[in-house]
Amino acid sequence: MLTVEKLCAAYGRITVLHDVDLRVETGEIVALVGSNGAGKTTLLRTLSGVQPAASGRILFEGAPIERTTAHARVAQGIAQSPEGRQVFGPLSVEDNLRLGAFRRRSPDRDTLAYVYEMFPVLAEKRRIAAMSLSGGQQQMLAIGRALMAAPKLLLLDEPSLGLAPLLVDQILGAVVKLKAEGITVLLVEQNASAALAIADRGYVLETGRVVLEGRGADLLADPKVKEAYLGL
Amino acid sequence: MAEFLQLVFSGLTVGAVYALVALGFTLIYNASDVINFAQGDFVMIGGMGTVFLAAAGIALPLAALIAIVGAVLVGLLLHRLAIEPARGASPVALIMITIGASIFIKGVAQIVFDKQFHSLPAFSGDAPIAVGGATILPQSLWVLGVALALFVALFLFLEKTLLGKALLATAANRLAARLVGVNVTIILALAFGVSAAIGAIAGVVVTPITLTRYDVGTLFALKGFAAAMVGGMGNPLGAVVGGLLIGLLEAFGAGYISSTYKDAVAFVVILLVLFFMPRGLFGGRSVERV
Ligand SMILES: Nc1ncnc2c1ncn2[C@@H]1O[C@H](COP(=O)(O)OP(=O)(O)OP(=O)(O)O)[C@@H](O)[C@H]1O
Ligand SMILES: [Mg+2]
């Protein structure tokens, strides 16, 4: 579904992604783990087109998209729930969700109902301004908003950041459910053990380079990963 | 009492125009953080354009329509040629650009039009209507009615359409707006176009009362800016209240103190607001974005 070849990205003169190669097959959950500042967010931003690629290729369903605008990529089926939630604070929960479907010709009621079913608390708070939601609820809203685009590929940037363990389980449970429903997921997490546990495959990013890749279970068992990311 | 009422009428009439200019500031500021000091020039283009087209023999409604469309084109060009290429520049640099654009528009207007004051015939005659001992001109009712219609239309656009919501979303969080697929460039162009239309319409209806000239935009911009500041930059309701307030203060200042200082009122208000309520009466959103 997604193939990234020799992708580089930079902020000004500082290159933060170096020749990243990465693949996501249809129907997979792929985890991308790495410590602070490794470049995970930059990679997702480049995939969504809100950050230009300095060089390299991004193929989505076989077609190159590295020059495609961000809004066209959403229309093609790539949606992102960004780091730090980034909800539209003053707008209501339901408006946030409806804007998630901005690129769709006919935003169907079914998707909205589906998101509300997945996160019932959003249905309860549909008329409330997004900024008055709790952190966990905002995270659900950010994911729900991305789902409203009916994406083929869902990019999730640290969905468990700052959440209580119970909520982390709920969010990651939702990710597994999405996979069962045929949505392909690229999941960025600092919480490496939780992410790799639900992932089919995983990549480890260090200072902008992919240093390890493999099946989720294998990475979890890898002594280097254990030492560096699982604190074991 | 009659005098007081008279001042209220004239204050509300000019105040409504300031409010419309302030709304233009608000729209563009919300969508882009740019404070567009060419906002007043849209008022001039609406008024002067209508005057000259009408003088060329075109029926007044059609002349007004063409002038408004012309102002919208100027607004879109301003965005496309001056603001968009400077994307990512600091707010101060962008403000300088709009000031430069404003000077440029006035220069072109001097050549295309002329340097004289012009007026338009009042839309429904000049016979004053007596109200509670004071009188009000039919044209004032036009100004107030048109302003009200524009406020309502803008409110419905922002609150009831997905495109309007996309504009509000862009204002709230530009990155997230891009991530849901909003084409932010088009939203900014839309904000410039709509602001230009609002300013030009204000210019058409107010010209029979205040006269117009190639450079009237400067004062409209300063007063509209003061109104937007008073209301808390970025808050549409605040812009309306701020505009009416400045209009009323000006009318009372002219009526009870001296008309010499009329134009100073707006500046005094700006200074007081900046000093005592830096975020305006309605505590507009803070400048930082998360
Ligand atoms: N807007 C920016 N301008 C300049 N440098 C940036 C910017 N954003 C990130 N960086 C730098 O790029 C590098 C990669 O950052 P990035 O946010 O992609 O890392 P990350 O893996 O997502 O980290 P975290 O786990 O903290 O979210 C870091 O060194 C960071 O300091
Ligand atoms: Mg990050």
Which of B91, B105, B202, B86 minimizes the C-alpha distance to B150? B202
pLDDT the model gives residue A147: 96
What is the rounded average pLDDT of the residues A48-75? Answer: 96
pLDDT the model gives residue B117: 95
Distance of alpha carbon A217 from alpha carbon A193, whole angstroms: 10
pLDDT the model gives residue B194: 96
Looking at per-residue pLDDT, the higher value among A221 and B108 belongs to B108
pLDDT the model gives residue B232: 83
Ligand 1 atom closest to residue A205's alpha carbon, by position in its atom list: 21
Ligand 1 atom closest to residue A35's alpha carbon, by position in its atom list: 25
Q: Which residues, including other chains, have CB under 8 Å from residue B231's CB and lie 6 or more apart?
A: B22, B26, B237, B238, B239, B240, B241, B242, B243, B280, B281, B282, B284
To test the pocket of ligand 1, the residue of A8, A11, A206 to mutate (highest count of ligand atoms within 8 Å of its CB) is A11
Which of B53, B33, B97 minimizes the C-alpha distance to B203? B53
What is the rounded average pLDDT of the residues B262-275? Answer: 81
Looking at per-residue pLDDT, the higher value among B255 and B203 belongs to B203
Residue A81 β-bridge partners: A156
Helix H or strand E segment including B76? helix B60-77
pLDDT the model gives residue A232: 57
Ligand having the closest approach to the CA of A191: 1
pLDDT the model gives residue A222: 87
Ligand 2: distance of its center to the CA of B52 in Å?
58
**With 90 as the cut, is the pLDDT of residue B102 above it?**
yes
**3-state DSSP assignment of residue A108:** coil
Interface membership of A176 toward B (CB under 8 Å) = no
Interface membership of B161 toward A (CB under 8 Å) = no
DSSP codes joined into one string, A28-47: -EEEEE--TTSSHHHHHHHH
What is the residue-averaged pLDDT of chain A?
A: 93
> How far is residue A176 from each of residues A29, A193, A196, A230, B273, measured CA to CA in Å?
8, 15, 12, 21, 54
Distance of alpha carbon B88 from alpha carbon B139, whole angstroms: 43
Ligand 1: distance of its center to the CA of A42 in Å?
6
Ligand 2: distance of its center to the CA of B226 in Å?
41
Looking at per-residue pLDDT, the higher value among B32 and A5 belongs to A5
β pairing state of A201-206 and A209-215: antiparallel
Q: How far is B284 from chain A (nearest CA, A)?
A: 12
**With 90 as the cut, is the pLDDT of residue B233 above it?**
no
Q: Which of B165, B176, B285 sits opposite A82 (nearest CB)?
A: B176
Ligand 1: distance of its center to the CA of B115 in Å?
55
Interface membership of A145 toward B (CB under 8 Å) = yes
**With 60 as the cut, is the pLDDT of residue B290 above it?**
no
What pLDDT digit, counting tens, does each position of A10-29 carry?
999 999 999 999 999 999 99
Q: How far is B172 from chain A (nearest CA, A)?
A: 6
What pLDDT digit, counting tens, does each position of B121-174 carry?
999 988 999 988 899 999 999 999 999 999 999 999 999 999 999 999 998 999
Interface membership of B204 toward A (CB under 8 Å) = no
What is the rounded average pLDDT of the residues B186-212? Answer: 96
What pLDDT digit, counting tens, does each position of A106-124 carry?
767 789 999 999 999 999 9
Q: Which residues, including other chains, have CB under 8 Å from residue B186's CB and lie 6 or more apart?
A: none
Contact A88 B172 (CB under 8 A): yes
Chain B residues inside the 8 Å CB shell of A89: 172-173
What is the rounded average pLDDT of the residues B90-109? Answer: 94
Structural domain boundaries in chain A: 2-84+147-229
Ligand 1 pocket (Cβ < 6 Å) reads A 11, 16, 34, 36-42, 83, 190
pLDDT the model gives residue B289: 36
Contact B165 A98 (CB under 8 A): yes
Please tell me the pTM assigned to this model. Answer: 0.89
pLDDT the model gives residue B288: 38
pLDDT the model gives residue A107: 63
Ligand 1: distance of its center to the CA of B79 in Å?
31
Contact B180 A48 (CB under 8 A): no
What pLDDT digit, counting tens, does each position of A159-217 carry?
998 888 888 999 999 999 999 999 999 999 988 888 999 999 999 999 999 999 999 88
Highest mean pLDDT among A54-63, A219-228, B82-91: A54-63
By percentage, how much of chain B surpasses pLDDT 90?
74
What is the rounded average pLDDT of the residues B58-69? Answer: 97
What is the residue-averaged pLDDT of chain B?
A: 91
Contact A71 B181 (CB under 8 A): yes
Interface membership of A165 toward B (CB under 8 Å) = no
Least trusted range by pLDDT, from A30-44, A213-227, B66-80, B213-227: A213-227
Cα A143–Cα A148–Cα A150 angle in degrees, nearest 5: 105
Structure tokens that stand for A183 in this block: 């949505």
**With 80 as the cut, is the pLDDT of residue B282 above it?**
no
Mutation target to probe the B interface, by most B beta carbons within 10 A, among A71, A91, A96, A155 is A71
By percentage, how much of chain B surpasses pLDDT 70?
97
To test the pocket of ligand 1, the residue of A20, A32, A41 to mutate (highest count of ligand atoms within 8 Å of its CB) is A41
pLDDT the model gives residue B274: 76
pLDDT the model gives residue B283: 63
**With 90 as the cut, is the pLDDT of residue B2 above it?**
no
Contact B180 A74 (CB under 8 A): yes
- What φ, ψ does residue B174 adopt, rounded to 5°? -65, -40
What is the rounded average pLDDT of the residues B94-99? Answer: 93
Chain A residues inside the 8 Å CB shell of B179: 48, 50, 70, 74, 79-80, 82, 86, 146
Contact B183 A98 (CB under 8 A): no
**With 70 as the cut, is the pLDDT of residue B284 above it?**
no
What is the rounded average pLDDT of the residues B233-241? Answer: 88
What is the rounded average pLDDT of the residues B65-93? Answer: 94
Ligand 1 atom closest to residue A39's alpha carbon, by position in its atom list: 18
**A2-84+147-229 classified as CATH 3.40.50.300:** yes
Ligand 1 atom closest to residue A11's alpha carbon, by position in its atom list: 4
To test the pocket of ligand 1, the residue of A16, A22, A186 to mutate (highest count of ligand atoms within 8 Å of its CB) is A16
ipTM of the complex: 0.94
Q: Which of A74, A82, A95 sits opposite B165 (nearest CB)?
A: A95
Interface membership of A74 toward B (CB under 8 Å) = yes
